[in-house]
Amino acid sequence: MRKHIPNFVTLLNLFSGSVAVVLAVQDELELAAIFVFLGIIFDFFDGFAARILRVPSEMGLQLDSLADMVTSGLVPGIVMFQLFNRALGTQTFTWALEGSAEQSAIDSGASLLPFVGFAITMGSAWRLARFNIDEDQVDSFVGLPTPANALFILSLPLILTYQPSVWAENLILNKWFLIAITIASTWMLNAPVRLFALKFKHFQLKGNRLRIFFLLLSLVLLLGLRFTAIPLIIVLYVILSLAGNTREGQVV
Mean pLDDT calculated for residue range 125-152: 89
| CATH number corresponding to 2-89+104-248 | 1.20.120
CB 128: neighbour CB atoms within 10 A?
20
Mean pLDDT calculated for residue range 72-76: 97
- State pLDDT tens for residues 80-112: 999 999 999 976 655 444 444 444 444 444 589
Stretch (H or E) spanning 140? strand 140-142
Q: Determine the pLDDT at residue 14.
A: 96
**Helices (runs of H) and strands (runs of E) counted in the chain:** 10, 4
Q: Looking at per-residue confidence, does 186 or 103 come out higher?
A: 186
Torsion sign, CA atoms 66, 9, 16, 197: negative
Q: Determine the pLDDT at residue 106.
A: 46
pTM of the predicted structure, to 2 decimals: 0.87
> Quick one: CA torsion of 79, 75, 148, 66, rounded to 10 degrees?
-170
Angstrom distance (rounded) from CA 156 to CA 33? 10
Angstrom distance (rounded) from CA 133 to CA 136? 9
Mean pLDDT calculated for residue range 45-65: 82
Secondary structure (3-state) at 47: helix
- State pLDDT tens for residues 200-232: 655 566 667 888 899 999 999 999 999 999 999
Q: Looking at per-residue confidence, does 183 or 201 come out higher?
A: 183
Mean pLDDT calculated for residue range 118-143: 89
Angstrom distance (rounded) from CA 113 to CA 175? 9
Cβ 19 vs Cβ 74: under 8 Å: no
Secondary structure (3-state) at 104: strand
Q: Looking at per-residue confidence, does 175 or 200 come out higher?
A: 175
Cβ 32 vs Cβ 75: under 8 Å: yes
Cβ 162 vs Cβ 229: under 8 Å: no
Identify any residues that bridge with 104 across adjacent strands, giving them in sequence order.
95
- What is the 8-class DSSP label of residue 165? -
- State pLDDT tens for residues 140-157: 889 999 999 999 999 999
Q: Determine the pLDDT at residue 101.
A: 44
Instruction: Look over the chain and give the mean of its residue pLDDT values, rounded to a whole number.
Output: 86
How far from each other are the two terminal CA atoms of the chain, in whole angstroms? 36
